[in-house]
């Protein structure tokens, strides 16, 4: 038996986004995203899911989602198109009061990831 190395035949990336809401404002941030998700979908962005933690109290004011892109370049292109869409602007403004700030910056973790060769997602 000979093992062949597994290769990704594309540049697909996944972006993990974790929004840290102001304490007690997680549900408000979720409500903004509930409505904003319609504009995001209209841009053809492939959101794999939106999540809110339900058991760990240390994570109660978090809003999490994962986006799939064909490449890092495509991610940049799609985010730029979304953020310059006048229909999305009100959601950006509506979310700001509900997102924690750290040293003057909104506390949002954005992490681009690639699947491992042993992942079912490739």
Q: Where are the domains of the chain?
A: 13-113
Give which of 97, 108, 112 is closest to 20, Cα–Cα. 108
For residue 4, is pLDDT > 50?
A: no
Please report, rounded to a whole number, the percentage of residues in the chain having pLDDT higher than 70. 92
The overall average pLDDT reported for the chain is 91
Q: Tell me the pLDDT tens digit for each residue of 64-90.
A: 999 999 999 999 999 999 999 999 999
* Four-residue CA torsion sign, 38, 40, 47, 17: negative
Q: In the CATH scheme, what is the code of domain 13-113?
A: 3.30.70.100
Residue 33: φ, ψ to 5°: -70, -30
- The Cα 48–Cα 16 span in angstroms is 10
For residue 56, is pLDDT > 60?
A: yes
Residue 117 pLDDT:
87
Q: What is the pTM of this model?
A: 0.86
């Amino acid at each position: 038996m000979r093992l062949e190395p597994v290769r990704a035949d594309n540049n697909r990336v996944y972006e993990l986004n974790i929004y840290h809401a102001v304490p007690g404002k997680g549900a408000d941030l979720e409500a903004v995203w509930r409505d904003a998700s319609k504009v995001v979908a209209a841009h053809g962005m492939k959101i794999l899911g939106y999540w809110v933690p339900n058991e760990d109290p240390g994570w109660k004011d978090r809003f999490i989602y994962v986006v799939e892109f064909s490449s890092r370049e495509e991610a940049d292109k799609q985010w730029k198109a979304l953020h310059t869409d006048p229909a999305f602007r009100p959601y950006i403004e509506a979310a700001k009061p509900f997102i924690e700030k750290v040293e003057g910056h909104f506390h949002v973790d954005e992490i681009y990831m690639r699947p491992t060769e042993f992942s079912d997602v490739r």
